[in-house]
Amino acid sequence: MAILVLYASKHGSTRGIAECLAEQLKQEGKETELHTVDEVLNPERYEAFVIGSAIYYGSWLIEATKWVHRHRDILSRHPIWLFSSGPLGTAIEDAEQQPKEIAEFQQTLDIQDTRIFFGTLDHSKLSFAERMMSKGVGASEGDFRDWQAIKDWATKIARDLDTRLPARS
């Protein structure tokens, strides 16, 4: 069974999470491929999807949302796990605010689980406008990703797939 870990990342934080998820799925014995949403793909050959995006202003990046919409017919026939990256820090309430697209996706797709992972903030990677905005709201610089939580979620996905999809010999 081939699993596609697909992501949209603006400054690299979401990419790092996607890489960690893909690596852990491989360690769990799953055939896994990692791609950005901008890469040309034929999603028909995958049997499960882990799709993630950075969150900006409460929404997924437009390229991730468009990819899901464009491939909705194929996605509707397969299990999907969604993750988002963006809140900074460790406040529980930040980790519970789902991007608006998630509710829409849950109405029409076989969403198994969703997660919000804390991200990173490196002012040197931001545009001038982004730097001013982040400083204006008092956002702290740092890497707030919880690597163990990310690996644990990938392990849970692998176990869910073991019970959901038959193993191939």
Asked if pLDDT for residue 92 goes beyond 50, the answer is no
Determine, yes or no, domain membership for 169.
no
Q: How many structural domains comprise the chain? A: 1
Determine, yes or no, domain membership for 53.
yes
Domain range holding 95?
2-164
The rounded distance, in Å, linking the Cα atoms of 50 and 21 is: 9
Question: 0.85 exceeded by the pTM?
Answer: no
Determine, yes or no, domain membership for 51.
yes
Determine, yes or no, domain membership for 139.
yes
**CATH code for the domain of 143:** 3.40.50.360
Determine, yes or no, domain membership for 103.
yes
Determine, yes or no, domain membership for 37.
yes
Determine, yes or no, domain membership for 52.
yes
What pLDDT band is residue 41 in, cutting at 50, 70 and 90? confident
Determine, yes or no, domain membership for 147.
yes
Alpha helix stretches (DSSP H) within 28-111: 62-70, 72-75, 92-95, 100-108
pLDDT tens-digit map of 109-151: 999 999 999 876 555 555 555 545 555 555 566 677 889 999 9
